[in-house]
Amino acid sequence: MCVESVKSEEATLIESSNDQLDLISPYFKVDETKYGGRGCFAYSLIPKDTVIASCSNPLSSTILREFKKEVCSLCFQYFEGKTLKFKLGKENVGSQFSLYFCTQQCLEEFQEHDIDEIYLESLLRVEEWFNKGLKKPEVELKEPSKEKSLIEHIKNEWNSVKEWEGSLERTKISKRQNMIPRISDSEYTEVKYIIGILFQYYKYQQAQSSEQKFLKDCDFDERNQFELDSFEALQSNELDKVNRYPYLVYSYVNIYKFLKLTTHPLLQKFINTDSIRNIIGRQLSNAFGVWSNVIDESREDKEFFGYAVYPTASFFNHSCDPNIIKKRIGNKLTFTTLRDINPKEELCINYGYSTEERVEVRRKDLKEWFFDCACTRCISELNQI
Ligand SMILES: C[S@@+](CC[C@H](N)C(=O)[O-])C[C@H]1O[C@@H](n2cnc3c(N)ncnc32)[C@H](O)[C@@H]1O
């Protein structure tokens, strides 16, 4: 099965197939579930405490603006609100808008995986234009009129972007900066995540077109290419999300305009309305939250720092009686069996909700993620009501 490819003026970038998903882990196969969509199924008996999958670093991640000085941009370390000492800036983008790291090692690792400081510069541009945008009036996101169907409304809004692009073309380059929209804090978070993905597309394309390895650590890059291929196979929940929160279509269009006007010239070829909508949509049900308390993510007092996308880990469905557990150490994720697993049994994590609640409450919480929980426990408890 071929999944959608990122359309760009230059190339159809990546195609992903189900065969690729078979290579994610020697322990399980990604296959169709009975209740719809795909899940991960054990090939054979797996003993308790087996690490069945691990992801060494995210394909892209983003930290909320309010935590940018306190949470390491690379490994997500947090020292109870202390400002981190290691910073990166760039003179031509405004060195005051730094990226922060917990150690020199993290800073160097970030630099090692950047190419010609394209990623750094792109992130610094977000800071710069976010700050400049604060001088512009805040735009209130309105609910769309009820006269048109939502689908029609979404279509119209994205079509209007084409007109906007026309007027952009007609505007002198020196005047285009005036068209950069103000973005909100949540749009800022989203924009940084999108830039991470655009940068991965760029690296991927560079690797395809170059015989030389462009970075020292080739394992990292092969892994990332694999993650990027898997990213293309993820489901998008853009329409579900906009259906629930119709005003978000304005926010997504705003994000698109901001990216179009501020992103590094070398990443521009990956920006079109389809690619940006797909990148946003795939994050909505596949990203992993980065929380303050990494040992026990079910704790109530944890803080939300941002999110990270690890595509090969995004095929695990949720269960209210999970048989695997996700652990985050720094920016690495591992998935470990909580009990012996039978051949063909589905491997499921807990998406982060209390499993102590009654079935109705659990299912209501999970609805936030656009699905009616069909895990074995919910089905069995629903049948008993
Ligand atoms: C991270 S993805 C998991 C992989 C996904 N099933 C797929 O085919 O790409 C999360 C999505 O999977 C589905 N899902 C996960 N757990 C589920 C469950 N317990 N019951 C029903 N659907 C579930 C929902 O559509 C959810 O938005």
Both structure tokens of 113? 């995986």
Q: pLDDT tens digits for 190-246?
A: 999 999 999 999 998 887 776 555 444 444 467 788 899 999 999 999 998 998 898
User: Which among 74, 107, 105, 112 is positioned nearest to 213, based on CA atoms?
Assistant: 112
pLDDT of residue 219: 45
Q: Are 363 and 373 in contact (CB under 8 A)?
A: yes
| Residue 251, token pair as written in the block | 């926010």
* Domain assignment of residue 49, yes or no: no
Q: What is the per-residue pLDDT for 296?
A: 65
Average the pLDDT over each of 12-21, 175-184, 257-266, 314-323 and give the range with the smallest value. 12-21
What are 290's strand-pairing partners?
306
| pLDDT(345) > 60 | yes
User: Of the segments 18-22, 86-90, 271-275, which one has the largest average pLDDT value?
Assistant: 271-275
Q: Which atom of ligand 1 is nearest to the CA of 318?
A: 16
Q: How many domains does the chain have?
A: 1
151-170 pLDDT, tens digit each: 888 999 999 999 999 999 99
Q: pTM score, two decimals? A: 0.91
374 C-beta closer than 6 A to ligand 1:
yes
146 part of a folded domain: yes
Supply the range of the domain harboring residue 138.
Answer: 60-288
What per-residue confidence (pLDDT) applies to 297? 63
Contact 42, 343 (CB under 8 A): yes
**In this model, does residue 370 exceed pLDDT 90?**
no
Q: According to the model, what pLDDT value does residue 4 have?
A: 36
Please compute the mean of the pLDDT values over residues 295-322 and round it to a whole number. 88
28 in a domain, yes or no?
Answer: no
Q: Report the pLDDT value the prediction gives residue 353, as an integer from 0 to 100.
A: 79
Cα(172)–Cα(186) distance, integer angstroms: 30
Q: What is the pLDDT of residue 214?
A: 45
Asked if residue 18 belongs to a domain, the reply is: no
Average pLDDT over residues 233-260: 93
CA atoms within 13 A on the CB side of 314: 25
Q: In which band, very low, low, confident or very high, does the pLDDT at 30 lie, cut at 50, 70 and 90?
A: very high
Does the beta carbon of 32 lie inside 6 Å of ligand 1? no
State the DSSP string of 317-334: EE-SS-SEEEEEETTEEE
Q: Indicate if the pLDDT at residue 7 is higher than 50.
A: no
Nearest to 264 by CA among 194, 332, 326, 211: 194
Q: What is the mean pLDDT of residues 10-35?
A: 75
Give the mutation target among 286, 371, 373, 381 for probing the ligand 1 site: most ligand atoms within 8 A of CB. Answer: 371
Q: What mean pLDDT do residues 293-322 have?
A: 87
What is the reported pLDDT for 176? 93
d(CA 68, CA 124): 12
Q: Which of 115, 118, 103 is nearest to 73 (CA)?
A: 103
Residue 376 CB–ligand 1 contact under 6 Å: no
Residues 6+ positions from 329 with CB-CB distance below 8 Å: 294
Give 5's contacts (C-beta < 8 A, 6+ positions apart): 12, 13, 14, 15, 232
Asked whether the predicted pLDDT for residue 1 surpasses 60, the reply is no
Among 317, 368, 370, say which to mutate for ligand 1: greatest number of ligand atoms within 8 Å of CB: 317
Residue 96, pLDDT > 50, answer yes
Kindly state the average pLDDT of the residues 45-52: 98
Residue 347 Cβ contacting ligand 1 at under 6 Å: no
Residue with tokens 């830039």: 195
Token reading at 39: 């899940």
The reported pLDDT for the residue numbered 248 is: 93
> Residue 351: CB within 6 Å of ligand 1?
no
Average per-residue pLDDT for the chain: 88
Q: Which of 320, 310, 231 is nearest to 53 (CA)?
A: 310
Q: Are 18 and 3 in contact (CB under 8 A)?
A: no
* pLDDT given for residue 39 in this prediction: 97
The answer to whether position 79 is within a domain reads yes
Mutation test residue for ligand 1: of 285, 351, 377, 378, the one with most atoms within 8 Å of CB: 285
